[in-house]
Structure 1
Amino acid sequence: MPASAPLHARITGIGTYVPSRILTNEQLSQLVDTNDEWIVQRTGIHERRIATEHEYTSDLCIAAVDNLLARYPGALDGVELVIASTHTPDLSSTPVACLVQAHFGLSAAGAYDVNATCAGFTYALHQASALAAAGVHRKILVVSGDTLSKITDYTDRSTCILFGDGAGAVVVERDEAQPAFLAHHIGADGRGAAHVYRTGLAQQLHGLPLAGGGKLVQNGREVYRFAVSTVPQGVERLLAKSELTIGDVDWFIPHSANLRMIDSICEKLALPLGKALTSMEYYGNTSAASIPLALDLGVQDGRVKPGDLLLLYGFGGGLTHAGLLVRWG
């Protein structure tokens, strides 16, 4: 496989937000037949953050951008496009990106949403880096957020223990001197769409009836199989494109779905689990927000340093998956 040329684009700022309300494993045990030990052993999750009744995905995304601006003043100056990744928009007909654009007065910027569920951040980042590198838009705001608590069935212990709410935001700019996006790999397997879904207008898929009544439905076993086989294969393709090895990677930042799943992926990649950055332990599975949340935890505590090579890999409903090799800073 020939090496791919790095894209002339760079991440120049990051911000994140999680709601203040905490839902612990102990509190969940009051709702369904479960306990802290059972949840931690199977998922690695201790607690998750939950949006208030009147707090929606756009509110979380706006708060993440506020955090970005507090750390990188002027980060929104000259933004030409807003891309939001979410599958829990406030309104089905209004992009979250438009609500973010309006809030920050980015009247000269276009705005649209991407729905690739838990792979949403890597899908949106892939688009943003390509557009910036091509010079189509020199500065792009990417926001990723979900309020999964609003679509979670809290009588189903197989799913309600997993999900939380959060948001992340990054600015992507064209950079001709130091290209930071080294390689990408993107894919999907629509045959597995019935393994993770939420009903909408259709009440059947591939001729079979759907359940859930508007709540999230997941076949955890099939999603696990998909992730532990597809992600390592995608990573190998990424490394081949960039002519790098897994040893060159400083930090692996996968979608924070389940710690056991990530452990299995790392084992297949011969990558120490200690080189994986995750966010599910105290935020839960936050879907599109999980990768930026994990990245920002590493940035804020000093583990992620300028020049570090990051391997980002999202995977989720659809079934979608996408990975990026990115040089930080």
Structure 2
Amino acid sequence: MTIRAVVRGVGHYLPKRVVENAEFEETLDTSDEWIRSRSGIERRHFAAEGETTSQLATIAARHALQNAGLDISDIDAIVVATSTPDLTFPSVATMVQNELNMEQGFAYDVQAVCAGFVYALTNANALIVSGQAKRVIVIGAETFSRIMDWTDRSTCVLFGDGAGALVLEAQECAGTSDDRGILACDLNSDGRYRQMLYVDGGVSTTGTSGKLRMQGNPLFRQAVEKLTSTAHKALEKAGVAETDVDWIVPHQANIRIIQGTARKMGLPMDKVIVTVQDHGNTSAASIPLALSVGHENGQIKQGDLLVTEAIGGGLAWGAVALRW
């Protein structure tokens, strides 16, 4: 028998404030049509003043626990993917642990920007497969509105805030590609491309949080190629083909990247979970948000084969093949 990390529950949280594209027309030389045509984004959610990443993450975790039918006492570990923590330290994960009144186990953060949730899933999978933990809450949570340059129309209209969470549970399986759970992971990074997407501040440089900077066109060209490649590798490791995939659940950065990746994988858009129009780019939160919305809408069903893929600053990218 083989131990797999199986999805037991899923949940998400979006801040109450919804920002439509038209709102940016008041302060920027932009328009709803310009934003939609270049990104597919129609609206996004922004955290309220005083609303933190850990608060978003905690609510998403509670929803995932409820969906799983579990109590916090059943959980061994919390892994949070974020690039916008409440504080430099301690970790967001330990703050969530405290808010959930979890007195056992351990919690830590993973930072790989928009690829963060794929990295966190891979970490959680390793914890479960190795026997270090039986049940893990994996969260992607961001408040990217805190690091926007509101004068830069090429970036500030793209991002939003939110959180999504999965509860993973160790289950004995047959060890075949028909198993439920995480079947394979593929992680990559290349620091030579770090100038394509970065924040121009930090503890040991400016002593400030800084603002997000992005080279959009070069990043777009890297994204489609690398996302297609990593998705293919994850599926190959899992022993399944692109034609076996029920759903691509991609990082929700840009509809053109999503469409380009699906096209290169030879899969139609009706097999892609798309939420970018409503959430914008929520970085590490985008994949768990899409998983939760897709499940809530009745698209993702038990037994479906999914591949998630993401690319972010670093550059860091990767994919996970899993059966729901």
TM-score, structure 1 normalization:
0.93
* Kept after mapping to 1: 8 A contact 2:180/2:322: no
Which residue in 1 is equivalent to 2:288? 292
* Kept after mapping to 1: 8 A contact 2:68/2:167: no
Which residue in 2 is equivalent to 1:130? 126
Which residue in 2 is equivalent to 1:188? 189
Structure 1 residue matching 2:120: 3-state secondary structure: helix
What is the percent sequence identity of the aligned residues? 40
Q: Deviations over 1:3-57 (max 9, x none)?
A: xx97522110111000010111100111211111111111000000000110010
Q: What aligned pairs does 1:1-329 form with structure 2 within 5 A after superposition? A: 8-177=4-173, 178-198=179-199, 199-203=201-205, 214-328=210-324
Q: In terms of mean alpha carbon deviation, does 279-288 or 235-244 score higher?
A: 235-244
Structure 1 residue matching 2:79: 3-state secondary structure: strand
Letter in 1 for 2:195: A
Letter in 2 for 1:201: V
- 1:296: how far off? 1.1
Letter in 2 for 1:286: T
Q: Deviations over 1:68-102 (max 9, x none)?
A: 23433324332111111100000012100000001
Name the CA distance, whole Å, in 2 between partners of 1:91 and 1:287.
18
Structure 1 residue matching 2:172: 3-state secondary structure: coil
Name the CA distance, whole Å, in 2 between partners of 1:203 and 1:69.
39
Which residue in 1 is equivalent to 2:176? none
* Kept after mapping to 2: 8 A contact 1:253/1:295: yes
* Kept after mapping to 2: 8 A contact 1:140/1:172: yes
Name the CA distance, whole Å, in 1 between partners of 2:185 and 2:9.
20
Name the CA distance, whole Å, in 2 between partners of 1:7 and 1:174.
6
* Kept after mapping to 2: 8 A contact 1:6/1:180: no
RMSD: 1.7
Structure 2 residue matching 1:277: 3-state secondary structure: coil
- Summarize the Cα distance change of 1:75–1:172 in structure 2 as closer, same or farther, 3 Å threshold: farther
* Kept after mapping to 1: 8 A contact 2:61/2:165: yes
Structure 2 residue matching 1:175: 3-state secondary structure: strand
Structure 2 residue matching 1:314: 3-state secondary structure: strand
Q: Deviations over 1:272-301 (max 9, x none)?
A: 122111221111100000001111111011
Structure 2 residue matching 1:159: 3-state secondary structure: coil
- How many residue pairs end up in the alignment? 317
